[in-house]
């Protein structure tokens, strides 16, 4: 049995990356792409001060994408403390510019590649 499997594997043509990509492109073009459905709703934990919470934005995001925003409102000092001591307790952080000198050296934040954001070079 093991020899039969070994013979089959050794005579089968190897799968090449290009062939795999072409097959995947064909599936996507046909509209038969696989979808991932979560049994639980996706919740994005947004850490920041209360001044930046916007109920209308949260409702619109949930309506359009099914992703819910959970606003975590704390003081500016607590945003900094939490960013350094509990970086896995939030998904997005909205902090003051002057706090970055304390947060960035911790190495716990990951930046956003602005090449994927339309008009990022015109934003302030």
pLDDT 10s digits, 48-98: 998 888 899 999 989 988 899 999 999 999 999 999 999 999 999 999 989
pLDDT for res 26: 57
CA distance 97 to 115: 22
22 pLDDT more than 80 = no
Per residue, the 3-state secondary structure of 65-78, as one string, reads HCEEEEEEECCHHH
Query: What average pLDDT score do residues 19-37 get?
Result: 56
Query: What average pLDDT score do residues 30-56 get?
Result: 77
CATH code at 42-113? 3.40.190.10
18 pLDDT more than 80 = no
The domains of the chain are located at 42-113
pLDDT for res 123: 75
């Amino acid at each position: 049995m093991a020899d039969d499997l070994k013979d089959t594997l050794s005579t089968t043509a190897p799968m090449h990356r290009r062939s795999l990509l072409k097959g995947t492109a064909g599936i996507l073009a046909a509209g038969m792409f696989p979808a991932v459905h979560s049994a639980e709703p996706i919740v994005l934990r947004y850490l920041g001060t209360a001044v930046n919470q916007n109920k209308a934005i949260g409702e619109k995001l949930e309506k359009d994408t099914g992703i819910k925003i959970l606003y975590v409102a704390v003081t500016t000092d607590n945003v900094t403390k939490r960013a350094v001591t509990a970086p896995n307790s939030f998904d997005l952080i909205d902090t003051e510019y002057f706090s970055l000198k304390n947060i960035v050296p911790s190495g716990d934040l990951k930046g956003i590649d602005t090449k994927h954001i339309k008009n990022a070079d015109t934003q302030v």
